[in-house]
Structure 1
Amino acid sequence: MFKGTPPGEAGQATSPLRQILTLALPALGVLAAEPLYLLVNTAVVGHLGAIPLAGLSVGAIVLAQIATQMTFLSFSTTARAARLHGAGRRADAVAEGVQATWLGAVAGLILAGIGQVAAAPVARLLADDEQVAAAAVGWLRIALLGAPMILITMAGNGWLRGVQDLRRPLRYVLVGNGISAALCPMLVHGLGWGLDGSAVANVAGQLVSAALFVRALRAERAALAPVPAAMRAQLGVARDVVLLGLAFQACWVSATAVAAHTSPAASGAHQVVFQLWMFLAFVLDALAIAAQALVGTALGAGEAGRARRLARQVTGCGLVFGTLLGLGFAGLAGVLPRVFTSDATVLAEMDGIWWFFVALQPIGGVVFALDGVLLGAGDVAYLRTATAAGAVLGFLPVVWASLRFGWGLAGIWTGLSVFLLVRMITLLARLRSGRWAVVGAVR
């Protein structure tokens, strides 16, 4: 689907696979920019030693909670805007973005304020080592100042994806993350600010990206005033997305806490491999973003059959791309870990979990593609339940048993493997049922 082309005509003129790839490529740049910056950040901080690296691990997972719990600003806005776009109602689709941006700004300010008070007790809860906790608190208090900008960027990504304009988000995110990546080594090592310098670099880039997304809304000549009734409607839709995010974060926070209570070396190793995992998850999510926009548009236009064909195509693409990524990183096992740290104890811990990371790529490719299909269809309630089942029945029992019985990082990554397998089985069952393909401008 292309900007300025009626939805029905684009769907007939372009093959599903070409549509998916046309949207997935710019989405890949957007999705990969943030985790790629986090990998750069991890590499820069990693050369400060195990304590700062472990502090970054704890601080980053706490900051990620804010982003994950507010993902409805992106996912729900994309789904709603895509259905309206498919029905030929672009102005209404943009209006969804305006209200999501207001929600993001207000919620971000509140969260940033609360975080200044909560940073210390939360860091001490997650980190057993006092030095690690202290490092995490300093980083987190600075990084939380960027919360409003993070959420405004999410909202901007959401409505632009919904109207299938993925080129502007790519430019905006690359500019912001490029500024952060340039500043990070200068502040951390050049000016000697250490771990705190990486947090300052984060906030600077986030401010630039958020300003560009606000400018995009102004360029649409849309009414920019807040509409409380519209924001309340978005919050109602957000419930299932928030619960979905809670299920994920219960897993990620538990994993970080168990790693931090194992040893600083284990925590640092988990930070590196987990950030690589998240980077590849975002790479594979490019297919999910394409599926979300295309499936939502097809259903908004009343074309359930086309939505089902797109779902099958994107699932197959996810399997192929995930397999290729797994093979590529298998070949880098002896080289890539040393890019991130020279600490021998951290490298020894990484050796034990690298092959979990490699083997999970094909499974992740299928799961993330199906996430996009169901999010685009607005079938978030099922997605929430399937994810909660994977967390409660798979991940959490294994990861906390790992702490109790001393299984270390191998236990944590075994839990992640079970979590993804449960999700894959439940999502494939939903795809086959076809009950997610409900047509209409709003679900």
Structure 2
Amino acid sequence: MRETDRELVGLAIPALGALLAEPAFLLADSAIIGHLGTPQLAGLGIASAVLLNAVFLCIFLAHGTTAAVARRAGAGDLRRAYTLGIDGIWLGVSIGLGLAALGIPLAPILVDLLGASATAAPHAVTYLRISLLGLPAMLVVLAATGALRGLKDTRTPLLATGLAAIANVPLNLVLVYPLGLGIAGSAIGTVIAQAAAAAWLCAVVVRGARRNAASLRPDRPGIKAAASANAPLLARTLLLRISLLTMTFVAAAQGDVALAGHQIAFTLWYLLTMPPEAFAIASQAMVGQALGAGESATARAAGRRALIWGLGSGLAMAALLLVLRPAYVPIFTTDAAVRDLVWSLAVVLAASQPIGALLYVLDGILIGAGDTRYLAWTMLVALVVFLPLAGAVLVTEAGVVALWWALTGWLLARQVAVALRFRSAAWLRPGPAA
């Protein structure tokens, strides 16, 4: 048990650091561009919404690659494990190039669809077009990170993304101000930093592939197989985005105060998912390798320990959320009405933390086991449960607090469905492939 705990924590802590490094890019860009003016900052907000949605939809590159690589590594077939990692990277390159080729000419249309003002739109288009050039690198980072996680290496992704996020700050400052490139300079700096992270991670994967005689060439059947295997995770992510966009739509219909409070609550919720998500990532690798080695009992035991750690992190986040309300609520807003709303929303967020924490780890366990079709179906069922709840909030104008209680119900529906799966033996399919 102690050995399992040490391995879980040893994998989870670097994974958490890497998760926290990702928002650092946007925070740095926001702080630097914010001093250029409000139109520039608004343009960044619009462009970032497009980019973040594109990257979020491709998160399957990390999760799916982790599970596939972990299975083969657990079975002792490192050659095939690295081959799957290389296939994932090539899939990321293919998707990134395709999205960039599509998005660059469509940038003005995408910006208009998101309602950019006449003053913000030119800045949004500039930032978006340059940033799309770096999209292949962003997706390569996801795939390479997934491959390394599958090999139980979470430290290398932390170093690569962490140092890239740090280097992004001085690089952007120089390009934006002394060189006078404005918002374009910020986009260029971020693309360079992300490309450096992608190159670093690829070099590590390629070195391992060569050491184990794995092919580095693009393999069309392998790439197609990776895309097919990841289709359920993509469907799951799309359904998740529908749920979250529904929340934003309902909150916006409640008025500006409700929308502002919702945005703050969503920011807090996103940040607080990261500690349990780190244990979910650790469980993906540990469960995948255990099943690859044919050790079903070890996989179940690792899952149980991950759930305990995940629940502990969720309870800790809930306590901090309540105790620190006097400190963080004033930071987000000076509007008294919004402050009062966030004060109440913090109670709902705290109640949802243990539920969500268990859910994220359960998801990680089943992803590591390759049980992604079940996860896609449960997400669909949860959406069917959530939409009437959100609709009732909209029709009755019950308010954004009720909306977040509806989200808690959405989390609970998913958790129950996935917990029942975990208790069964249906996900315990040992062997080198799920």
Same fold (TM > 0.5): yes
| Deviation readout 1:393-436 (Å, 9 max, x if unpaired) | 21x34445555555554354233222211111111111111211
The residue type equivalent to 1:208 in the other structure is A
Matched, 1:99 2:111: no
Tell me the TM-score normalised to structure 1 length.
0.85
- Aligned partner of 1:388 in structure 2 is 380
Alignment partner of 1:424 out of 374, 391, 415: 415
RMSD: 3.3
Matched, 1:146 2:134: yes
The residue type equivalent to 1:318 in the other structure is G
Contact 1:51 1:135 in 2 (8 A): yes
How far off is 1:106 after superposition?
1.7
Contact 2:393 2:402 in 1 (8 A): yes
CA distance in 1, matches of 2:250, 2:46: 11
Matched, 1:216 2:204: yes
Matched, 1:308 2:296: no
Instruction: Rate the CA distance shift 1:283–1:119 in 2: closer, same or farther, 3 A.
Output: farther
- Aligned partner of 1:442 in structure 2 is 433
CA distance in 2, matches of 1:357, 1:190: 43
| Deviation readout 1:115-173 (Å, 9 max, x if unpaired) | 23444444444449777777755544443332111100011111111111222111111
Alignment partner of 1:159 out of 131, 142, 147: 147
Instruction: Rate the CA distance shift 1:34–1:437 in 2: closer, same or farther, 3 A.
Output: same
Using the TM superposition, name which of 157-166 and 59-68 deviates more: 59-68
How far off is 1:69 after superposition?
2.3
Contact 2:276 2:311 in 1 (8 A): no
Alignment partner of 1:363 out of 355, 370, 374: 355
- Aligned partner of 1:433 in structure 2 is 424
CA distance in 2, matches of 1:110, 1:59: 18
- Aligned partner of 1:7 in structure 2 is none
Alignment partner of 2:244 out of 230, 238, 252: 252
- Aligned partner of 2:406 in structure 1 is 415
Using the TM superposition, name which of 413-422 and 95-104 deviates more: 413-422
Tell me the TM-score normalised to structure 2 length.
0.86
Instruction: Rate the CA distance shift 1:132–1:400 in 2: closer, same or farther, 3 A.
Output: farther
Gaps of 5+ in 1: 1-12
How far off is 1:250 after superposition?
1.1
Instruction: Rate the CA distance shift 1:255–1:280 in 2: closer, same or farther, 3 A.
Output: same
Which structure 2 residues correspond to residues 53-202 of structure 1 after superposition, within 5 A?
A: 58-127=46-115, 137=125, 139-183=127-171, 199-202=187-190
How far off is 1:382 after superposition?
0.8
How far off is 1:200 after superposition?
4.5
- Aligned partner of 1:377 in structure 2 is 369
Using the TM superposition, name which of 172-181 and 289-298 deviates more: 172-181
Contact 1:35 1:282 in 2 (8 A): no
CA distance in 1, matches of 2:231, 2:334: 44
The residue type equivalent to 2:168 in the other structure is S
Matched, 1:281 2:268: no
Alignment partner of 2:309 out of 313, 317, 323: 317
Instruction: Rate the CA distance shift 1:142–1:420 in 2: closer, same or farther, 3 A.
Output: farther
CA distance in 2, matches of 1:411, 1:142: 40
CA distance in 2, matches of 1:339, 1:181: 23
The residue type equivalent to 2:419 in the other structure is L
Using the TM superposition, name which of 157-166 and 187-196 deviates more: 187-196
CA distance in 2, matches of 1:235, 1:257: 31
- Overall identity of the aligned pairs, in %: 36
